[in-house]
Amino acid sequence: MRLSGRNLRCVRGGREVFAGLNFELQGGKALAITGANGAGKSSLLKMIAGFLPIADGSIVTSGANVELTLAEQAHYLGHRDALKLALSVIENLNFWRDCLGGPTSDARTSLEAVGLGHAVDLPAAVLSAGQRRRLSIARLLTVRRPIWLLDEPTAALDVTGQKIAANAMKAHLKKGGLIVAATHGPLGIAAKELRIGGVA
């Protein structure tokens, strides 16, 4: 599988954020997007995910399931963890499994993998910021999709949580998956760097 962006231009609020941006990524590889605050790192992820319109240029996949859109083959993990606070930890994963569809793994196994096996029946509202990020990572493991779009994936994680995130990313790449991650710091995995704008 291959993911490519050609001559991409992003406009938000009438302001050009970036233009002439190119990237290419193949299965088993990761791309780390770096740059100063406001350079457009998160905007690029949202464009790939289909949440923001592409002002110019194109984003295409090859070697993928032609019956699925790019958005249907990608997971987007943003700054804010997309959780329903009134639901329990396991209910959140089951919601995403049912909502997103496609190939899945056992939700409880995913929770064990991220160190939340003890919190299965707790309401998501009582989780710390780091635990909520771990729950979001468990979603990536539960609903299997080839492209991971990660915005500061290690934010709020302690050292153990960072290792868990890195191990999950390494396993995803080993299976031929792709990762595009916006980051200000190390991801814990080998990644090609795409710098947007000035010095990061």
Strands, DSSP E only, in 81-191? 147-151, 178-182
The per-residue pLDDT for range 183-192, each reduced to its tens digit, is: 988 899 999 9
The per-residue pLDDT for range 89-127, each reduced to its tens digit, is: 999 999 999 988 888 999 999 999 999 999 999 999 999
Strands, DSSP E only, in the chain? 2-12, 15-26, 30-34, 56-62, 74-77, 147-151, 178-182, 192-195
149-178: average pLDDT = 95
What was the pLDDT predicted at 106? 92
What was the pLDDT predicted at 100? 85
Assign domain 2-62+69-195 to its CATH architecture: 3-Layer(aba) Sandwich (3.40)
3-state secondary structure of 98: helix
Q: In percent, how much of the chain has pLDDT > 90?
A: 79
Give residue limits of the domains in the chain: 2-62+69-195
54-69: average pLDDT = 86
Under DSSP, the state recorded for 110 is H
- Lookup result for tokens 């196994």: 109
Distances (CA, A) of 83 to 53, 67, 139: 25, 28, 10
pLDDT averaged over every residue in the chain: 92
What was the pLDDT predicted at 199? 38
